Chain A
Amino acid sequence: MNWLILGAPLVSAVLITIGLYKNKIASVSVSIAACAVSFTSALIVFFSGEYWGYSEYLWFQVGDLKVEIGAMHDDLARLMLLMATGVALLIHIFAYGYMKEDEALSRFFAKLSLFTFSVLGIVMANNLVMMFIFWVLVGLSSYLLIGFWFQRPAAAEASKKVFIINRLGDFGFLLGILGVWMLWDSIDFLTLKSAIKTNPNSTDTFGLTLVAIGLFCGCVSKSAQFPLHIWLPDATEGPTPVSALIHAATMVVAGVYMLCRVFFILELSENALLVIAIVGTVTALGAALIALQQNDIKRILAYSTLSQLGYMVAAVGMAASAEAMFHLTTHAFYMALLFLGAGSVIYGIHHEQDIWKMGGLCKKMPITFWTFVVATLALTGFPGLAGFYSKEAILSSAYHDHPIIFGVLLFTAGLTAFYMTRLVVVAFLGKEKSGVVSHARESSWYMTIPLIILSIFSVIGGWSINHLGLEDFLHVHQHEEGTISVIAMLIGVFVIGTVLAFVLYNNRESEPFDIPMVSPLFKNKFYSDEIYKLTFVKGHQMLATGLSWFDRWIIDGLIVRGLSVISNISGEALRLIQGGNLQAYIIFFVFGVAFIGFFLFRYAL
């Protein structure tokens, strides 16, 4: 089963690359079939119960370092496998509809398969190095996918930036892994778990905190947490199904998944957990604020994803990893649905992404509209839909111990309701705001079927997971006294946000708000791109220029050329002795002999 799940997408990617790419239909079918195989196997694995520690392939073994490619079927992995393969399958089908006319369709599906392969590798990983391997591969495949339209300079630049920021996270993650290896002499999750049970090693708190933060660094870049969140909006440069795959079900949640996976290490350090919680909360709030003033439909969704990821990370930081996983799962459904819906819209109106040029789409694209509304309600926390359950779970866990974080997250929930309603109202309701809308038609069934399926899950996802026999794992804490008030507050902010946005934005032709100082701040993402450019990019550039100057003039100039100049000068000086006068040579020779002879007799004999 493990080989099937992992192997199918890989085989598909390889096959398409080495030969199948010439035949588009064959490539697409192979890729979709591979994804279906993975999904079916994941289903079987899901229902066949827990099993730990398969080791399938010994990568290498040197000394006491043994790295395997293995698999782990605990509840966490099984749930994530099912979710990732399922959503990926739907996105594959949708992508065929969306990308049908693209010339490089085969290449796209090869990359899609590679991406699926990498993500599934992270999910199945039973040791840290294997996780790191696929971690990096996910970075690679997202790079390839975002840069799919590489002829566009913007896409090329965005993909590069995404990869570099991912490398930053790899840097921290690698150091974290090394730290884990140092503390417990193992990289295998099972061994680690038992090692920590017997020897918590809690004396070295500083080292522990550093290790935990190193691991968290990986999550910060992959899940686009503050301050490395800047890549996520750039990722929308890729085709829309890619955005869905990256933002919703797979790549960004890999970071959260990893946090849950290594939670037994993180929880050893209070300080690290606090850092994680704060970073998550800041991300949740900041992204929601930025989303208020965005006009590009995909970017709004991207920031919304960010905000939800902040929720999950904050939940992990509050030692509520089960709640985080729960939110991750529900989020995967409705966020994939939102991105695919946006894709359907963009496809329908010929690649226009500005919401102020849409409007009135509800009649032209009814299926897209209704599924989109369902997803929005699920995201914003409409009682009974998926997002409501998971948000409530996270908020409940914050309610008692972390009042400040609770407040911020609750406020964020209100903001979410506000900007999502704004999106729906402006893009789908009201009058047609530009000519592009008039030609819009509902998309083909390749695209609508996945939308419908996903909307079903968005409705029942929260409820069903709560009743699917995973209670042991998703033992969502029931804070009895708190729950009712939390539910009430959640519903309250949902209603306020939605109604406010509806009233403010209904029948508007353009953005009604332009608050000085604040609006530009949100619009420009708190100038985080500029800050990134100023610190990271400029810093590297300046250092590089300075060192280059040093190398050119000091090392290569002063020292190397200096040596050669000295040799030249001394040569020039010494050649004056070589006047060509035979008798002068003889005198030198005689004096030389006398000199040597003197020392020979004086000292040697």
Chain B
Amino acid sequence: MNFMLQFLLITPVLACLAIIIGAPAKRTALFSSLIGLISTVALAWGFDAEAEAFQFITKIPVAEHQDLFTLHFHLGIDGMSLAMLLLTSVVTLSAVCISPEDIKRGKLFYICLLLVSLGAVGAFVSLDLFFLYAFHAVALIPTFLLIGIWGTHDRKFAATQMTIYLMAGSLVLLAGLLAFYFYLPEPTFDLVEIQEMLQGDSFTAEQQSVIYPLLLIGFGILIALFPFHSWAPRGYATSPAACVMLHAGVLKQFGFYGLIRLAVPYLPDGIAQYLPLLLVLLLCNLIYIGFLTLTQKDLNLMLAFSSVMHMGYLFLGLAGMNAVSINGMVLLMVAHGLSTALLFGLAAEIRERAGTLHFAELGGMASKAPWLAFLFIAGGMASMGLPGLGNFAGEVMIYFGAWKGAEHHPILYIVIILAAWGLVISAIYMLRAIKTVCYGSLSDSLRETEDFKDFAQAFPFLLLLAGLLLTGLCPWILSNWMKPVLVGLGLE
């Protein structure tokens, strides 16, 4: 089974080559992402939830200069990466599914999609910081192209802004990673070696206070942490549906993935030292961005702001710094990825039908397209945190975990109480969106609307919804997978 991870990485590359040679673009991409999903599920099947070490390890030397620089192409997964892999493959499949077959410059489009997905998969399976970083960069450039070429109005500005932000974030992140690297007793990029090396003595508090802010800001820009958020709404609102599904759904979670991998186990003092800053920023994400979401007049913009807002919950999980909150974070990362992808995908469907996403021009969709409306309401409910869907389970764990963490930092109590107001805010804007889009009298723009014609059209959305239901009804699957990870992180 050890070849599985390489297989996951090679499939999209081969598919890209096939598309260049002349294979039908959409079908090839679809095939490749289907294989990706199947093999990830197989991976989950063969995954040993009890084992403490990384599994499906591959280690290929890339550069071995003694005393100078050693680099291995080191792959492997644990419970957390597995969850992210499943998220990636599900979202990729549905993103490819909903993309139109006759899109302009189709070959390039699907190649870009596959590359974004490849970058995400690579980042999640890499056990080497160098490749972790490099794979993330692989995903950045196609994102720029996807928004710049296939976006809607104002796409050039949005694409440029987003890319500048993400590049800047990557730069800060690189500085952080290098600081991390050089502060190690024996510099290495290899996560497994780092784990062994830092088991006994970790970084000193001064070292941590250098590395952690760099990582926080670097990853934070990638996640759209306040005040680095303004790329996200504009970028997401203009980008084509498939791209925003992949980016908001998957790539953004990469930032949290990195923070959990590096900051939680090795930089606890740094986190504690910068906790007040983090708390202020996450409250801004939750409340400030939440209020901004209330004023949006366009569905896509609202969804984009809402996605940024929910990052606050994830940061709250980080601030909690214990097993419950980190577990909740990972669960919410998966659930938020699925629900965001679902909502953005549906928004694209609505735009295709109505030609607009302005609230003022929408209404009464439920009477014309009940299934579309059903899925939209389900997505909205997931995003609001309704039980039965994954987000709720994640949020509950985060609240409980953060509350437990507040024993060490009483200020957290106040932050949690304020953060819980997010429940109300997200209910207000989501319900308003549902009301204006689905309920009420039929708008002119939706008069000719048709529901999904067959199962195939609804499939990508049903797939995402199924994922949400699974995470919501059986969060124990993930928490079983996470148990050894949490032990490894030193939290249990």
Contact = CB atoms under 8 A, between A and B. Distances in A.
Interface stretch (A37-45, A81-89, A150-158, A313-321): A150-158
Given A60-B476, A63-B324, A151-B441, A540 B294 contact: yes
A559 interface: yes
Interface stretch (B136-144, B182-190, B207-215, B413-421): B413-421
Given A150-B366, A559-B227, A163 B427 contact: yes
A548 B431 CA distance: 20
A495 interface: no
A380 B324 CA distance: 51
A140 B294 contact: no
A151 B439 contact: yes
Contact of B295 (A58, A134, A545): A545
A60 B420 contact: no
A143 B366 CA distance: 15
A15 interface: no
Nearest to B165: A560
B323 interface: yes
B324 A140 contact: no
Interface string A53-67: 000001111111101
A133 interface: yes
Given A137-B387, A541-B294, A555-B230, A171 B424 contact: yes
A4 B328 CA distance: 31
Contacts of A164: 424, 427-428, 431
B475 A60 contact: yes
B291 A547 contact: yes
Contact of A178 (B366, B400, B425, B482): B400
Contacts of B48: none
B435 A156 contact: yes
A136 interface: yes
A150 B288 CA distance: 31
A151 B476 contact: no
A153 B432 contact: no
Dominant SS at the A interface? helix
B161, B227, B384, B439 — most chain A CB neighbours (10 Å): B439
A562 to B, nearest CB: 12
A544 B290 CA distance: 8
Contact of B428 (A133, A540, A547): A540
Contacts of B294: 540-541, 544
Nearest to A557: B230
Interface in A540-586: 540-541, 543-545, 547-548, 551, 555-556, 559-560
Given A164-B428, A170-B423, A544-B292, A157 B399 contact: no
A364 interface: no
Given A137-B386, A170-B423, A171-B421, A62 B435 contact: no
Interface of B: 161, 227, 230, 288, 291-292, 294-295, 322-324, 327-328, 364, 366-367, 381, 384, 386-388, 392-393, 396-397, 399-401, 403-404, 407, 416-417, 420-421, 423-425, 427-428, 431-432, 434-435, 438-442, 475-476, 478-479, 482-483, 486, 491-492
Interface of A: 58-65, 67, 129, 132-134, 136-137, 140, 143, 147, 150-151, 153, 155-157, 159-160, 163-164, 167-168, 170-171, 174-175, 178, 181-182, 540-541, 543-545, 547-548, 551, 555-556, 559-560
**6 nearest A-B residue pairs (beta carbon):** A156-B439, A63-B323, A544-B294, A150-B439, A167-B427, A133-B387
15 contacts: A59-B476, A60-B476, A62-B479, A62-B486, A63-B323, A129-B396, A147-B439, A150-B367, A157-B435, A167-B424, A171-B421, A175-B416, A182-B403, A541-B294, A543-B291
